[in-house]
Each structure stands twice: as structure tokens, then as C-alpha cells.
Amino acid sequence: MAGKNKQQAIRGTSGALTKRPPVVAVLGHIDHGKSTLLDYIRKTNIVDGEAGGITQRISAYEVERTKDGKTERMTFIDTPGHEAFAGMRERGATTADVAVLVVSAEDGVKPQTLDAYREIEKAKVPFVVALNKIDKPAANVERCKVSLAEAGIYLEGYGGSVSYVPVSAKTGAGIDELLDMILLTAEIGDLKGDPSRLGEGAIIEAHRDPKKGISATLIIKDGSIGPGMFIASGSAYSPTRILENHAGKKIAEASFSSPVRVVGWNKAPQIGSRFVTFDSKRGVEEYVEEALVRERAPAGSAPTEAEAKKVIPVIIKADVTGSVEAIEHELRKIKSERVAVKVILASIGDITESDVKVAGGNKEAVILGFNVKIDSQAAAMIERLGIETATFDIIYKLAEWLEAKVAERTPKVEVEEVMGKAKILKFFSRTKDKQIIGGKVTDREIAIGHKVKIYRRETVIGDGLIRELQQAKVKTGSVAEGFEFGAMIEAKIELAPGDVIEDFTVVEK
């Protein structure tokens, strides 16, 4: 436990707490203008070229607000609003000190608005509502307030205490007021930090670059990170040799509330996980060793539901860890009574030969790529082994493709389908297994050649086969509900008046 104790030590002796800039999460429906709002705030554009119009990853940006000669800093986290990113959105809210719930003044509350609101409530984060798109002809702020109240979100002046600001991410109207409201909300929270401590906080993104290796974006919630240190998250760790700020510029050190990109990880840390900092290599090695012991601990030998099904092994390769998580979230929605989708590998980077080897020649395996390429060696092995592989740039298309494969590979089973029922009214004769009876169809119809189950007092006592049918002494192929009939039934059980025969067929499904 020496590493743990070392991490908790402070580098200075003052231990003085100072005001900490707020970390702000922006949440809301996909079409309500979150990214456009952030674009205006930071005067950049990340919207153009996004596949499917969905923000595919979490990013963090520092901005400043100057008022009355005083400049204050804050960090914004852009949390994707699409349903596929529910896990990322939740951690965005948990990492944040203040949340902004963006709602269109045109459309009002949407299901994803409520999803985002629930995540904010779950994280117990104070929040401000931004009523966006007030520049639109169809915008109606008052109607939007009513829509929020109907959803249980009560704004100031509408029966509640939630602050709100009407804004236009397009024209910039109300943006300064929104920033002031965020800073006021943060001030009420009395955010403090100790810059003399070793930094700690949360991982919000990880990425593999072919040239630089694995990098991760962190939000420092307390303390500082500087040269000669080591950062760890679970069993993933990195020295602090290369630190970059939100603009991609190299920096020597960073303190609380700053987004920092750290390059040089041994493997991709899990997004949303906590990170800690050490000022010695020995400290981080002890911490990582303890994490590896926890990760290797057996999870138990109880059989799972999936073990009773046909399994489709899935290998996921994506551009960033946020995309990996979003894909896994979508794949968990694929439900089948006879097939289980099992992710056997999920990592970032292009599809390589080593990824294909994980499939082990299993013909059922599927390799899925998102915003990545397939290298030539991997492509050759995929063709040789006959492993189905597909790449996508829109996540829901990937999920739809796999869902179709699950349906295609679902094993067929024989199922009994009831076609009709009849009650036996008279017993006429029996010659060996062939019995002549009279009856009446009570449900749907019965037909020649169909098998029947024989019920006596609601209990199955045997089965048989309809050999002949007559209706009004005329041979027929079937008899409909409500009509009486005569029949020859082949059965080992002797039929009796009052018995019920259930006509069924066996079909493959």
C-alpha cells in the first residue's frame, strides 16, 4: 500500500485551498444545438463533417469570461446527446460541477432531454437550462417553459428554482448571460482545490495515434500534474513526458479543472474512470500491480444465460474509447432467445492481424470496425479464414448490420402451432388403432393429415392423427369452427365422448 500512501502526499506544505474553476457538462437532445452552442462559446467549429450528424466523442475545452475587468475560467465538456452515448453522458454529468441542459425553444422537451435530465439528477449536479434557438421563427419561450414544467422541470417563475437563460447559439444572443449564470451557480457551490496536491480526476477520452501511441484526455478535479510524474487509472499508466492542453499545445504542467491530454500510456484507460498521480515510478508500479490483481480476480463460475445459447463472438475496433463504449451499449440492445452476442475484444486502432487471430478461426466470429481501416495483412487473413468483417462510420448502421446477422444465424427450432380444437360427441367403432368418432369444432378448424393431442379433463392422455373427415356424410379436407363432423382418428388411446382433440402442426422458426 506504499504507492497509495505516496499518491496521497502533497508536494508542498501549505495545503491552502483556492477557488477552482467549474467543470461544465453540456447535455441535451441531439438536434437542440449543443455543439453549435459550444462552437459559439469557443469560436471554433467541430460540427462539419460529423458522420450522421452525431458528435462521436467527448471533448473538453477551456474558455474565459471577462466582465467588469475580471476574467474567470471554466472548462466545458461536450457530452453527446444521442442515445448510444448514454454511458458517456452519465460520466460527463458526474465529472461536472455544473450542467447546462440545452432545450430547443422550437421543439420543447424530447425523450433525450429527459434522459439527460435524469443523468443530471442522478449525479446531483446543479444545472442551468439554456433555452436555445430563440432566433427561429417558430421559437416560443413561454411554450417551452410549459413543456419543461409538464416534464417535471420547474424553472424560476414557473413553480421552481431552476435558473434558465434564453439563448441563440447562432447569433450569440444570451451567451454572455448564460456564462454569467454558470459562474454564479458554481460560486454558490464554493468550489475549492489544493494546487499543491498530486493531481487526480477523471478520464474522459482515450485515443490511439499511429505515430504518437495511446493518449488520454483528463479532467483534473484537484491538485496539479507536472513533469517527472506518473499517472495511473486502473492498470493503465503513463509518464507525464508529453502534456497537451485542449488546443493541442504542449504544456509543462496543469492544475485543477483543466483538460489535459497525456500521451504515452501503456494501454487505453477506461473512460469515466478515476486517475491518480504519483511522483515516483515505484509508486505507480505498486498501484498498477494492485489494480492488476483486482482485474485478474475470478468473476465466479456460475453458468450464464449466454452459455445456453449459440454464441457469436464479436471483435470491436474503433477510433476512440468513447466509440467503443457506445458500440457496446448498442450491441447490448440486441436480444435473441437463441443467440448471444459476446464481445471478446474491444479496443481502439485499426484492424490488424493480431485482432483477427483473436477470432481463432471461429467461423461464427464477426469483426466490426468503426472509423478505422483494415490493414493488408489482416485483410488477407480475414479472407483466408472466412471471417465476416465490416466497417462503418455511423454506429446505428453497425448495430443494424449485426442485428441482421444475428437473425440470419439464429438456429431453427421446431415449434408446435395449434390449428384448431374439437370436442368428441360420439364414439362409433374401433378397428385396431383406427377409431370412428363424431364431434364438433370449437376453435378455428381441423384438417386431414394433421396430428392431434387428446385431452381428457384438461390433461393430455395421448396423441393421434386425423385420417379421414366427413361433413354431412360428404368427405372433406377440413372442418371449420361451429360445424359437426365425422372422423377417423388413428390413436392408441381409446377415445371417449367429452374428450377434446387439439389439431397442431410442427413448424420451424
The domains found in the chain, sorted by start residue, are 21-190 (3.40.50.300), 200-296 (2.40.30.10), 305-409 (3.40.50.10050), 414-508 (2.40.30.10)
Backbone torsions φ then ψ of 364, nearest 5 degrees: -80, -15
Residue 202 Cα distances to 91, 222, 261, 368, angstroms: 9, 10, 12, 28
Other CB atoms closer than 10 Å to residue 227's CB: what's the count?
A: 10
Instruction: Single out the residue of 495, 424, 429, 414 nearest to residue 462, CA to CA.
Output: 495
CA dihedral sign, ordered 351, 353, 357, 362: positive
pLDDT of residue 46: 39
Mean of the pLDDT values across residues 138-148?
Answer: 92
Maximum mean pLDDT: which of 255-264, 293-302, 356-365? 255-264
CA dihedral sign, ordered 172, 173, 175, 180: positive
The answer to whether the predicted template modeling score (pTM) of the entire model surpasses 0.85 is no
Mean pLDDT of the chain: 85
Ranges 15-29, 240-254, 304-318, 445-459: which has the least confidence: 304-318
429-440 pLDDT, tens digit each? 999 889 999 999
Does residue 141 carry a pLDDT above 90? Answer: yes
Cβ neighbourhood burial of 310 (10 Å; 0-12, 13-18, 19+)? middle
DSSP-assigned states of every residue in 75-141: EEEE---SGGGHHHHHHHHHH-SEEEEEEETTT---HHHHHHHHHHHHHT--EEEEEE-TTSTT--H
pLDDT of residue 304: 47
Question: Taking a C-beta distance cutoff of 8 angstroms, is the pair 406, 334 a contact?
Answer: yes
The partner residues of 278 in beta bridges, in order of sequence, read 230
Q: CA 91 to CA 219: how far, in whole Å?
A: 12
pLDDT band of residue 37 (cuts 50, 70, 90) is confident
pLDDT of residue 481: 94
Ranges 32-46, 156-170, 270-284, 374-388: which has the least confidence: 32-46
160-215 pLDDT, tens digit each? 899 999 999 889 999 999 999 999 999 998 899 899 899 999 888 888 877 888 99
